[in-house]
Each structure stands twice: as structure tokens, then as C-alpha cells.
Structure 1
Amino acid sequence: MIEKISDKLRQLRQRVGEYPTKNLNITLEPLSLLAFLKAQKEITPAIFWQDKAHQRRVVCLGAIDDINHIPEINDEARYYGGLAFQQQGKQWQNFPAVRFIRPALEFSEENSVLTLICHFDGNTSIETTLLLLATLRPSAPLNNISTQITSRNDSPNQQHWAELVDLAIEYKALLPKVVLSRQTELICETQLDYCDLLAQWHEANPNSFLFSFKFAKDNVFIGCSPERLFERSDNKLQTEALAGTVNRGRNEREDNILLQSLLTDKKIDRENYLVQEFIIANLKRLKAQVSCEEPHVLQLHNVQHLCVPIHAQLPPETSDAELLYRLHPTPAVGGSPKLPALQFINDNEPYLRGWYAGAVGHLSANHSDFSVAIRSALLTEKRIKLFAGAGIVTGSIAEQEWQELDNKIHTILDIITLKGEQ
């Protein structure tokens, strides 16, 4: 594979010179992209992306552009990255408020066809790409994770959580909904491989986005998120209100009872409606034509969510930057009204969310796709920080919401300790 790519690059050099202005696309034999990414431990940036419908799976290696703003694109460029939920602390030093990269090498699999896109912009030399190519290693096998958790620390702890829930409910006149969250830090006996973890996470929850962003060698942000922020194809947009959560049942009958409760519970309906209202209002401010589908239930391994798909026809001049700043963060991860909810979170949560509950994805001139970075984790050697949130509205009970947080991280806890295999 390396020799074939190198030959194509040398041929390109003979045709256009050392600094091409257009990308080079090369069709390759299929390979497991996660297994391939696992072997490239020394390369940063390194990004993995898989969309919710499994139509596209991507590995990005290296970068020809690394920026701290949302790019405006009118050519063949594609950028990958995201926006943070809030200001960053020390643990988020490689994940600023906004960061996007244009990869040097983009391995893209669509409809079982693997294409390598070598990105060029007139400033990157073929020699630089050849040097990066020479560092690539053959795929490494994906393995089941098996380790022991030696310590766990929840921030906030359960007592503090109960106090925050009570405080949020006291503010119900100003805050009909606020989403509170928790960081669960685990120390493991052995180092976790994030590609192994992603593969098993996706196996448990296949109807989710799958992503990893590694900007430096010492940490990586990963996720298996069920929530779409938006997908734009030219001027057509689809998004969703994903809010309201119940457990999966112990058997089919209990599962169906819980599913029906999602569709009929007034508290859940109110929580979801606040998200719908926010999304529709902000799309209409962009002069979009908006329509909603009927609610349905999205079932995951341990929980199920109420989901309302939303479609919009956008004016031609609408930019991805406008969409991101209008729609992120939605009340599904922040609250309603937006600014008071975000202020409450900033003032009261005992840790900084960083890219958790942020927006991650990719954008190009014709197509952009972003997920809300929930069901996510930050890995550093033997340490993993898991994140989960719960919407607090009138009628919320702190103990039940705490259990919801546990349910949302249960899948990844099972993977780490192999409990799901027993």
C-alpha cells in the first residue's frame, strides 16, 4: 500500500511540481480503519470518525492546517474538529474553544470503497507527505479490553449532586431546565487502548456516532454518541431533539413498558419540547423552512431516549459557523433558557466540561456532519474520565437522576471490566 501511494505522489510531482494546489485521491484495498489507526501511535493529529448511519468511516493523520476558528470553505478542502462546551481547564489543554484541522492523509471508506485523500493547498510539499507516509505502520489487531479499576472518583459526589439538583429546582422560575453533569475518573491497572475501546463500544451501541480526537500523544478524547447536532447536505439540514431518558428493561415486556413511558410521560415530553423549541426558533432566525417528524424511541444498550427528527431547508447563504453557533449547545446538554442555564453550570459544576457535550465532526463546502459529544471519555494512559449528564426539570428526583448518570456510563464500565462477557 505504501509503495503504491508513494508512486502516485511521485507521478503527481512530475505533473504539477512540489507544491500541488489540488488533492490527490487514490483508491486502496479495504482494511479495518480502527485496526490501522491503532498501529499509528506516534502520529498526531490522529482522528477517527464514523457517522451515525455507517455511511462513512474515516481516519485522518497529520495536518496541513490547524486552526482555532470555524473555516469557511469554497473548494475541495474538508476539516475535522469541534467546539468546546465551555472554558477549558488543564486536562483540556489540547482542546481549545474551537479547533479544526485539515488532514494531511485522509483514509475515507464509503460504500465499502476505501480512498486515500492526500490533501494539498499549495503550501504543503509532496516531500512532506512522503515523509509522513514513511512513518505509517501495518494494522494492529483489535483486542478485548480486560483490566481492573483500582479507584473511582465522582465529581460531584452523590451528596453534592443532590444539593445541585435541589438548587436547580429552586431556580425553576428562571430555569425551566438545566442539564447537570458528572465526571467519573477511573484509574485502571493497565493502560487502555482507545481503538480497542472504541471497537467494543460501537459493538454495544451500533446506532451511534463513533469518534476519537488525538491532538497530542498524552491524551485522546473519544465518544460513542447517539446525538446528532446537525447534518447539512448543500442547503438541506437534518437535526433532532434528543432528550428524555429511561432504562432498558430486564425483559421484552418491561422494555416495552419503559418505551411507552417515554412517549407518554409529561416530564419527559416537557424536557424534549424545550429542545425542539430551541432548535426550531434558531433555525427560523436563519430564515430556514422547518418541519418535524413524529417522536420515536432510540434504543441503546442500557438506556433509551425520546427522539424527534427535525428537517430544514436553509437559505443558500447560510454558513456552518452560523449553524454551529446557533444550535450549540442545545437545551439537551445545556438547558433553557440557554444563557441562564450555561451560567448556572459555570457557577456550580465542580469540574470543567471542555469538549464533553461540545460539537464534534467535519465540514466541507457541500456536506457537514456534527455530533453532540455525549457518551464520551478523556483517556490518559491508565486514567479514563467518563462524562454523563441529566436534564433537571420540575419533578426531577436527585437519586433517580444519579442513577441515570450511572446507566449512561454502564456500557463503557462493562467493557473496561469485561462484565458484559460474564
Structure 2
Amino acid sequence: MQNIQLHFKLCMQNIRKALENIAMTRGNIPTENISIDLQPLHLLTILKAQHSIYPAIYWHDKEQQQSFLCFGSIERLQHIPSATGDAFYIGGLAFQSEATQWPNFPNTLFIRPALVFKKEHNKYTLTCHFNGTFSVQECLHLLNKLKQPCALKKINNHILMRQDIPSKKQWGTLVKHAMLCREEMPKVVLSRQSTLHCKNSINSTDLLHQYQQANPNNFLFSFQFAEKQVFIGCSPERLFSKEKQQLKTEALAGTVLRGATPSDDLQLLQQLLNDKKIKRENELVQHYIVSGLQHLNAHIKCGSPYVLQLHKVQHLCVPIQATLCKKTSTKTLLETLHPTPAVAGFPKQTALQFIKENEPYVRGWYAGTVGYINAQKSDFSVAIRSALISDKSIQLFAGAGLVKGSKARQEWQELDNKIQTVLALLSHLEEN
């Protein structure tokens, strides 16, 4: 760790010198970004060390090609931006814009960061963002606030208490109610918030790192806009990735457990591929995505179903590619595709209204979408397998798609399966 800290210190010295030279040659208030090449850095160790710089945002794509670590902001927008030139925005949307939201997490929030450490294809850079209002001196002041990297550690904690909203009994009532509405609502995704109170403070970066080790091919994100709350996630689901006119998305719906042995695992995988209820659930998501893209006059191609295997569960996934019209923007795609029936239901507006009227807690950014936008590309994850952390408490979220044939007991077990990785990382329930 000492070598990492020395390396970081030398990087910061070189960055300061470069910025001071730029201020002398280009002026103190640049109108264009300044990028500086760096030697390799471990971005999560830098994130862990910071306790007084907000926003602090980390985002990592599921292909493990891009990672961003962002500090401070030169713009803060409560609408979906259109990025031009060298502008870069990172942020997200809540699950429902018309609902009550979490403190510090409004309906829509995008940040143009002041500092962006970036890893792309094993190349590291620091980009200092300027737009004609942010000065080099302010940038240097922010750099000087950065603390030395801090070693990542294994979580050593104990769960003292757990509260589920809805409770198991309430869940049974909700599922029964949803099944009675099946004619006008073939699918609805109901969810649960499990609040865990732990013995010690929960370090969100350590938990995020261990979550990533358990599921390395997932999106990884951490959003902290103020002191007390951090929203993290390790999501398997892409909302979409747009590069020029090429779009990648997917229908991810249908879940079974991983097997205890390779033969059990294979048997469960085959069950996932052949189960009529799961197939019906996934087809509703496919239909919604394809219909939305057809409405935008896109040329669409659906791939063959495959099984995405994670640490504790496996999902049925159908990849979808499309060629978009030149005029189709990231904003239009977000408004068209979010939220999908994978996290809401079908028809979407009917399902959203049912959730708003019947779920007994606030989803906030859970099942929302998080990602980034620049002039060349945008990439968004569905914010599932996520948690809201505040000191010694953590709120875990999980949902289950209810269609014809759904049973309350089985769906409750699916909710438990989806939070099992984090429960295992946080240790065992203590007896009172």
C-alpha cells in the first residue's frame, strides 16, 4: 500500500505542475477540458479514502472496458443533458419520476464532474473539466483535497436486525391482489426493501469491491451526492448502450438459483431455458423493448436466448441490437425504454400505477437507471442488485416479476436469493 500511496503522490505532483503550466499559457479559466495521461491507479482505493468531496461517483461497465471515478461538479442538472464537444455527464433517473424520492436523489440528476479519473482498455487518464466558468485554481484546490489511497479490506460485520417491507404476510396479500388484476396487467414487478442494522459502520467501497469480486461481469456503481447516503450496485442488466447509431440492449427476465454441484447447475439452467412461465415473463420484456424501438424507426435484431450466470442466481437473457435513426438521442431512448417491464411490468403505465398505489416503501433510484452521456457514446445500467447505505444501516432491494402461474412463496424466495450475496458478505444474523 505504501508504494501505491507514493505513486499517487507523484501523480498528483505531476498533475499540479501540468495545470499550473496550462494556466500560464491558456489562462485561468479554460473553455476546454484538460486530459493528462497517468500511470495505472487502483480507482476504488482512491474512492475509499475520500470523505469530504461530493459528488463522488464511480461507474464501471459490465465488459470491464471502462471505469470512471468522478469528483466535484462544474454542472449539476435535473434534466437529461445533450452532450456536445468534450462534455461528459454521469448520473441517473429514479424508478418513477412522479413518486416521492430519497433525499439527495431527485427524479433526474446528472453531474458534469470537475475531475474524472478514467481507465479505458488499460489506459489511465485524469480529465479536468472546464466550461468557461470553472478555474484552474478551483481545480487545484479540489485536487489538494484528495486523500492518499486507502487499502480495501474484507467486510467484518454482523447483522443485528432485519426488517422487510413488505413483510412476508403483506407480500402474500400483494401477490394475490396482483393476480386478480392479471387480465389488464399480464405482468407486474413487485419488490421489497430489506433494512439491515449492523454492528459496525458499513464501508460502501469495501462492500462494492467484494460485490464485484463475486460478480465480475456486472455493472458496478457508487453514487454519493452528500455526506450521509451512498447508493451502490452490482447490476447484471443493461438498459442500453448507444454508440453513434448502433444500440445494444437486452431482455433480462427470469431467475433461478445456481446449483450446489455442476450437474445441479446444468439442470437449473435447462429449467430456466424451458420453463413456460419464465419464457412468458421474458417475452413481455422483449415485446416492450422491440415495440419501443420500432416506434423510433430502428432496424432491430434479437439474438438467441442464453443464460447469464451470477454468483447466487442465473437469469434468462435475450440480446437485442438495433441501428437507430440519426435523430434518435440518448434522451429519447431513456424516455422510451426506462423503466422496462423487467423492473416495472406490462403494460407499463398500468403496472407503474399499481406499484405506486400498492408498494409500501419508496423505491427512489432502485430499479431506476444510472450511466453516462458524452458526444460519442452513452451507456446505462438498470439499477438493480443495489443498496442504499448510511453508517451502520443498509437498505437492500429486490424485485420479482409476477405473471400467470406466479406463487407468493416462490417469489418471496426469489427476493431472498437476489440479496443473498450481500447478506453473505455482511456476515451472519446475530441472536439477541
Per-residue CA deviation, residues 249-299 of structure 1 (Å, 9 max, x unaligned), is: 111111101101111111001000000000000011111111100000000
Structure-2 residue corresponding to 1:119: 129
Pick one of 31, 39, 42 that aligns with 1:29.
39
Letter in 2 for 1:145: I
Q: 1:262 aligns with which of 260, 269, 272?
A: 272
| 1:340 has 2:359 as partner | no
- 1:386 paired to 2:396: yes
1:375 aligns with 2:385: yes
Indicate if the aligned counterparts of 1:79 and 1:362 stay in contact, CA closer than 8 A.
yes
Task: Give aligned-pair identity as a percent.
Answer: 53
Q: Distance in 2 between matches of 1:340 and 1:150?
A: 38
Tell me how far apart the structure 2 counterparts of residues 41 and 89 of structure 1 sit (CA, whole Å).
28
RMSD, aligned α-carbons:
1.0
8 Å contact 1:47–1:211 — kept in the other structure? yes
> What does 1:133-152 align with in structure 2 at a 5 Å threshold?
133-152=143-162
Partner of 2:284: 274
Q: Secondary structure of 2:370's match?
A: strand
Q: What is the aligned partner in structure 2 of residue 397 from structure 1?
A: 407
Letter in 2 for 1:175: M
Q: Name the aligned partner's letter for residue 253 of structure 1.
A: S
Supply the distance in 1 between the matched residues of 2:303 and 2:25 (Cα, whole angstroms).
51
Match of 1:18 among 17, 22, 28: 28
Q: TM-score, normalised by structure 2?
A: 0.96
- 8 A contact 1:213–1:220 mirrored in 2: yes
1:385, distance to aligned residue in structure 2 (A): 0.1
Aligned to 1:44: 54
Residues 282-338 of structure 1, C-alpha deviation per residue, up to 9 Å, x if partnerless? Answer: 011111111100000000011000000000101111111100010000000000000
Question: Quick check: 1:60 aligned with 2:70?
Answer: yes
Task: Kindly indicate whether the alpha-carbon contact (under 8 Å) linking 2:93 and 2:109 is maintained by their aligned counterparts in 1.
Answer: yes
Q: Deviations 1:168-198 (Å, cap 9, x if unpaired)?
A: 0110100100000000000001001111000
- SS at 2:114 equivalent: strand
Out of 166, 170, 173, the residue aligned to residue 160 of structure 1 is 170
Distance in 1 between the 2:160 and 2:274 partners? Answer: 42
Query: Runs ≥4 in structure 1, deviation > 4 angstroms?
Result: 87-90
In structure 2, give the amino acid aligned to 1:107: F
Following the alignment from structure 2 to structure 1, what is the Cα–Cα distance between the partners of residues 129 and 328? Answer: 26
SS in 1 for 2:340: coil
Quote the Cα distance in structure 2 between the aligned partners of 1:293 and 1:181.
29
Match of 2:336, SS?
helix
Matched, 1:173 2:183: yes
1:366 to 376, 380, 391: 376
User: Conserved in 1, the CA contact under 8 Å of 2:255 and 2:314?
Assistant: yes
1:325 aligned to which of 308, 322, 335: 335
Q: What secondary structure does 1:216 align onto?
A: coil
Counterpart residue number, 1:243: 253
Q: Is 1:198 aligned to residue 179 of structure 2?
A: no
Distance 1:300 1:37 in 2: 25
1-structure distance, mates of 2:419, 2:72 = 31
Letter in 2 for 1:257: Q
The alignment status of 1:354 with 2:364, answered yes or no, reads: yes
Query: Contact 2:388–2:396 (CA<8 Å) still a contact in 1?
Result: yes
In structure 2, distance between residues paired with 1:402 and 1:173: 23
1:304 aligns with 2:314: yes
Q: For residues 76-120 of structure 1, what are the alpha-carbon distances to aligned partners after superposition, in whole Å with 9 as ceiling and x for unaligned?
A: 111000000025547x11100000000000000112211000000
Matched, 1:284 2:294: yes
Q: Residue 293 of structure 2 aligns to which amino acid in structure 1? A: L
Within 1, Cα distance between the matches of 2:77 and 2:248?
Answer: 26
Q: What is the match of residue 213 of structure 1?
A: 223
For the 8 Å contact 1:88–1:95, the answer to whether it is kept is no
The one of 225, 231, 256 aligned to 2:235: 225
* Shift in Å, 1:381: 0.5
1:70 and 2:90 are equivalent in the alignment: no
CA distance in 1, matches of 2:83, 2:121: 25
2:196 aligned with 1:182: no
Q: Is the 8 A contact 2:99 2:356 kept in 1?
A: no
* SS at structure 2 position matched to 1:291: strand
1:297 is paired with a residue of what secondary structure?
A: strand
- State the match for 2:90 in structure 1: 80
Distance, in Å, in 2 between the alignment partners of 1:30 and 1:366 is 24
Residue type of the alignment partner of 1:115? T
2:7 alignment counterpart: none
User: Is 1:128 matched up with 2:118?
Assistant: no
Instruction: Verify the 8 A CA contact 1:294 1:309 in the aligned structure 2.
Output: yes
TM-score for the superposition, normalised by structure 1: 0.98
Contact 1:388/1:405 (<8 A) preserved: yes
Structure 1 residue aligned with 2:117: 107
Letter in 1 for 2:221: F
Other structure's SS at 1:198 match: helix
Whether the aligned pair in 1 keeps the contact of 2:241 and 2:378 (CA below 8 Å) is: yes
Q: Give the length in aligned residue pairs.
A: 418
Q: Which runs of 5+ in 2 are unaligned?
A: 1-10
> In 2, Cα distance between the equivalents of 1:47 and 1:290?
33
- How many angstroms does 1:418 deviate by? 7.1
- Answer whether contact 1:145 1:418 (CA < 8 A) is retained: no
